[in-house]
Structure 1
Amino acid sequence: MHGLMQHEPMMISDLLRHAARYHPRSEIVSRRPDGVHRQTYPETERRARRLAQALIRLGIAPGDRVATLAWNSHRHVELYFAISGIGAVINTINPRLAHDDIAYIADHAEDRVIFADVDFAPILAAVVPKLAARPRHIVFLNDSGDIQDCTLPASISVSAYETLIAAEDGDYEWPRFEETTASGLCYTSGTTGKPKGVLYSHRSTVLLAMAVNAADACGLRAADRLMPVVPMFHVNAWSLPYAAAACGASLIMPGRFLDGASLAGLIADEHVTISAGVPTVWLGVLDHLRETGQRLPSLQRLVIGGSACPPALFEQFDALGVEIRHAWGMTESSPLATLAAPVAGVDADAAANQRLSQGRTIFGVELRARDEKATEVPWNGKTQGNIELRGHWVATGYYRMPKGTTADGWFPTGDVGTIDPDGFVYLTDRTKDLIKSGGEWISSIALENIAVAHPAVAEAAAIAAKHRKWGERPLLIVALRPGASLTKAELLAFYEDKVPRWSVPDDVIFIDELPHGATGKLLKTALRSRFGDYFIRAEDVV
């Protein structure tokens, strides 16, 4: 027997229609080089409908891939909704990737049109002539389309975004189709080989948007003013533009200005209440606040993910009255899988540990950890296992590649961790980043968190360096804060009583700046390549 309930397919366009109809006063604010641009959700929806008409006029049909190379802005929001809204697939490309990776992604996706901010014209000039699956149109996200020093093949038409949509009347009805229709295509950053495409659906995207707004997740409300610092080219900006539309929250888009002073100024000027981004962004904001004495009275909550959040960051934002919620996920989980919101009934020590964890799953995702024999490990907070996921917005595999899940349908994340009795996940490392010394496992994340807690340390990375006796030993690579001084002996003494003696790094190397990948994560592959033989070379010299 079936229930007597209406059934409507979950459409991404419905999120924007809802925001425009029921939250007409909420706005999308974009900071641009020429000033601040504002528009309401009704204005955004009208412009998105005109964009939908323009896409159809350019020959885009359901299932076609349309690429973006763009910062966080109102125009990028319009692209999010219009491309998927007509049944096409938005392929957000990370402009920080190497040119060869960008070319690979555009070819692999077979992008028909590319929308790009003018900042990225040099990237297009370098990449587009190399493409086998050459796009037909390039649309620059500006008023005129006049781009100097950007030579493109004559077969490609070049136009300006505002001119393109101005030719349409907006008399367009969003089509209805199966909710399992593909909506977005995001590629992994390619740190372990060629980038791999994750193909989202309307259903998965809408379900995640609603889950993000749950009180124990990001907890967005219509009255919030949300600033996604996480780029819209990085896993759909953690689904925040969709979640904001679902609840009617205003969006404050920072564009390309992501330094501490610019972000702090925008938070203050636009009365931002919630923001989200990787730890390095907030370290820059803290440095600015420390130097200037500025306060951010409107800011209530930060969602931090992308890499492990150092305990020191929690403490410093606690002092400012700002709550941090630690989140974790991956491109393959759309990305939100777990989030560390407070839980009742635990003592103060347990609560402190849990908020530093990666959190527990939100409804819609399941999580388990299995050992090397594929046996699920107990939830005791001690036994390590390989973390696996399944759920409504978790991938089954990669675009145009074989199935990627286990035999029983779980997705292997490549992360290692423990799970406590309350379901909180504590990642101890990536599988490839664990340090195995004399048969004992050492967590690089634990060593890094201790180092970053030192007031002189800006960033730290612990890697496994080859060792003739122990197989591997931890080597710590550190970048200091501007003007700070610190010796190796002082930093190693900071580890006393924090980890077992055999876990303390054998040596410390100070460098000016740690390498980062296209998504802002530390590039440990580069550090291992440079310093992986450090202890062996030192022995040979002796």
Structure 2
Amino acid sequence: MTASLQGQMMDMPLTVSALLAHAARFYGTVEIVSRRIEGDWHRYTYRECERRAKRLAQALIALGVEPGERVATFAWNGYRHLETYYGTAGFGAVCHTINPRLFPEQIAFIINHAQDRYVLFDITFAPLVDRLAPQCPQVRGWIALTDDAHRPDMRTPVSSYETLLAPHDGAFDWPRIDERSASYLCYTSGTTGHPKGALYTHRSTVLHAYGAALPNALGLSARDVVMPVVPMFHVNAWGIPHAGPLAGAKLVLPGKDLDGRSLYELMEAERVTFSAGVPTVWLGLLAYMKEAGARFSSLERMVIGGSACPPAMLRAFEDDYGVEVIHAWGMTEMSPLGSLVKLTGEERRRPPAEQRKLREKQGRAGFGVEMKIVGDGGRELPWDGVTFGDLHVRGPCVIDRYYRTDTSPLIDGWFPTGDVATLDADGCLHITDRSKDVIKSGGEWISSIDLENIAVAHPAVAEAACIALAHPRWNERPLLVVVKRPDAQVTREELLAFYADKVVKWWIPDDVVFVDELPHTATGKLQKLTLREQWRDHVPPSARGDADCPLTDVSTDLNADHAGCVPPSDRATRSPP
């Protein structure tokens, strides 16, 4: 075979430091605005940010941190945290962002598993550090992200960030490092078993930033004012701290106050045009907007991800407030963005109802992400928008294996996401459920996500989760767990009736229970494992023979009712493995 002809282009490594260096050189006067933990505001520029990140690199090197060693953070979205992103990875160390909302036992496991050498933390987490420090003997030092005047009084010996930087001048050249060397370490939320680490490379981080900034993704530019509400301790704030500097966009970092009023006032004060966060945060913002009768004067678009965006939330932002919602899907293992909803020109000419249906899905894969759905035996299933199966992905920003493990989770080179999904002929992804959350009733599958989305569309419902109850005849039946809106009233019967014209009869939940709050993971996702444990002894009304159960009056022909929803020829391919 004839050898391929090699190109004659410069071999320049793709490194994280290049992102900040680009912003400092060409967008050097663009602002980074932070609400500080100390209670005041901080403003500076990309040029000043790079200088301070270089001072941090000098300080860490002086402490003896070697390339490849891990430096951890417990911090909110702020300028010092941003400096840590670049000051560690920039000289070859690994920035390890830790979610402080995890259980302390999980955090201690993560620190020890990662073998973190230093931990930098916001002062709000001082009590947590005091609890963790005795359990983490490998940590050489704990550094409070503040100055000496605000350094907290703690049992643990700590130094202050500003004192650490003080002896250094920032006269430092970013080293040329291998683009395949590690840049960031992020752990999964660990809802079952120990959390697992995803170790990104400089190459994957830069490619992810490129892909995220594209018009068909986040669409960032130097005209934007970007406020990431998704925390920087959660999967690198979905790559926004990298894509923002790449595009030269102004950054607004909200700190620890993420209530609706605080977010709205910050958006208005800084003229934010773009934001990103999980549904639970936006619920608070919508509640404040409605109560205060407020309107946005600058916000143009927002990304909603982390868990499925309820259609009612999408409609509220777009119809009531004129904000474009970009529905996104991804995973820690994917750096994390996998797909986003951006309609094509042709799709924007379709009737509004069709456009809305498309926006409620998870959209098309970003460049570099390949997808497929598989059924029994790994058989690839058709892209017809109807057939659903297990979603598998691959690409340069997808992990090959978890940190410090010898075995790979890949199946024939593809990463199994754990999601059940459909793909249509145009490649539009629709997540129908997590494989562990889908409900199997009478041999057919019910999407818990679809039932939750219908519930939260009811004006009296603030939040809902749907889980499976064991059933003696139908294997499983859906139970709806509901949090009411403040001062709202709704009964079980009213909620069940709300489903009547929206789903087939056998999909209607067997029962509704009302609770004050739902359990969430540290990343804001519904913790259904906890709910299933809490309600495992709840007996479905259909198992008791209650007259008002959706299945009771059709018990004689339920099998036909199930079969009528799925043509026999499609049943094998539509059921996930």
Question: TM-score of the superposition, structure 1-length normalised?
Answer: 0.97
- 1:108 Cα deviation (Å)? 0.1
2:85 matches 1:80: yes
Match of 2:568 in 1: none
Q: 1:261 to 1:3 in 2, by over 3 A?
A: same
- Partner Cα distance (1:531, 1:498) in 2: 26
- Cα shift readout 1:414-460 (whole Å, capped 9, x = no counterpart): 00010111111111100100100110100000000000011111000
Q: Which residue is 1:126 aligned to? A: 131
The amino acid across from 1:161 in the alignment is: Y
1:329-380: CA deviation from partner (whole Å, max 9, x where unpaired): 0000000010010123343244322111011101111011001221111111
- The corresponding residue for 2:470 is 466
- Alignment partners' CA distance in 2, 1:148 and 1:277: 30
- The answer to whether the 8 A contact 1:122-1:149 is kept is no
Q: For the residues of structure 1 that align with 2:338 and 2:382, how far apart are their CA atoms?
A: 20
Residue 212 of structure 2 is matched in structure 1 by 212
Match of 1:247 in 2: 247
CA apart distance, 1:171: 1.1
The amino acid across from 1:322 in the alignment is V
| Matched residue, 1:333 | 334
What CA deviation, in whole Å up to 9, does each residue of 1:6-61 have, x standing for no partner? 22100100100000010022111101242211010000000001010000011101
The Cα shift of 1:538 comes to: 9.8
C-alpha contact 2:400 2:410 (8 A) present in aligned 1: no
1:413 aligns with 2:413: no
- Runs of 5+ unmatched residues, structure 1: none
Rounded Cα–Cα distance in structure 1 between residues aligned with 2:210 and 2:59: 29
User: Secondary structure, in 3 states, of the residue corresponding to 1:203?
Assistant: helix
Distance in 2 between the 1:541 and 1:86 partners? 67
1:75 and 1:206 map into 2 onto residues whose CA distance is: 21
Asked whether the 8 Å contact 1:145–1:159 carries over to 2, the reply is no
Aligned-partner Cα distance in 1 for 2:325–2:408: 33
Letter in 1 for 2:340: L
Query: Alignment partner of 2:267: what SS?
Result: helix
User: What corresponds to 2:454 in structure 1?
Assistant: 450
Report SS of the residue matched to 2:483. Answer: strand
The letter of the residue matching 1:41 is Y
- How many residues align? The count is 537
Q: Is the 8 A contact 1:404 1:411 kept in 2?
A: no
Q: Counterparts of 2:494 and 2:153 in 1: how far apart (Å)?
A: 51
* 1:289 to partner: Cα distance: 0.7
Q: Counterpart of 1:161?
A: 161
Distance 1:2 1:235 in 2: 36
Q: Who is 1:259 aligned against?
A: 259
Say which one has the larger Rg: 2
Partner of 1:388: 392
Deviation at 1:147, TM superposition (A): 4.4
Q: Deviations over 1:301-341 (max 9, x none)?
A: 00010000011111111121100000000000000010010
**Kindly, what percent of the aligned residue pairs are identical?**
54
State the 1:403 CA deviation.
3.4
Structure 2 partner of 1:519: 523
Residue aligning to 2:271: 271
Q: Which residue of 2 aligns with 1:315?
A: 315
* Alpha-carbon distance in structure 2 between the residues aligned to 1:7 and 1:185: 26
C-alpha distance in 2, partners of 1:255/1:173?
30
TM-score by length of 2: 0.91
Match of 1:293 in 2: 293
* Aligned mate of 1:25, from 29, 36, 44: 29
Are 1:140 and 2:144 counterparts? yes
1:137/1:158 contact within 8 Å kept = yes
Give the letter aligned to residue 205 of structure 1.
T
Matched, 1:89 2:94: yes
Describe how 1:178-217 pairs up with structure 2 within 5 A.
178-217=178-217
* Distance in structure 2 (CA, Å) of the matches to 1:29 and 1:146: 20
Range 308-317 or range 404-413, more displaced: 404-413
2:60 aligned counterpart, secondary structure: helix
Residue equivalent to 1:102: 107
Does the 8 Å contact 1:145/1:160 carry over to 2? Answer: no
Distance 1:46 1:518 in 2: 33
Determine the structure 2 residue equivalent to 1:366: 370
1:106 Cα deviation after fit: 0.2
Q: Within 2, Cα distance between the matches of 1:147 and 1:485?
A: 48
Question: Aligned partner of 1:273: which letter?
Answer: T
8 Å CA contact 2:328–2:341 kept in 1: the answer is: yes
- CA, structure 1 residues 535+69, in 2 after alignment: closer, same or farther (shift >3 Å)? same
Q: Aligned with 1:138: secondary structure? A: strand
C-alpha distance in 1 between matches for 2:375 and 2:192: 22
Unaligned runs of 5+ in 2: 547-577
Give the alignment partner of residue 397 of structure 1, picking from 401, 410, 414: 401
Q: 1:28 to 1:148 in 2, by over 3 A?
A: closer
Q: Is residue 33–residue 252 contact of structure 2 (8 Å, CA) maintained in 1?
A: yes
Quickly say closer, same or farther: Cα 1:320–1:310, change in 2 above 3 A.
same
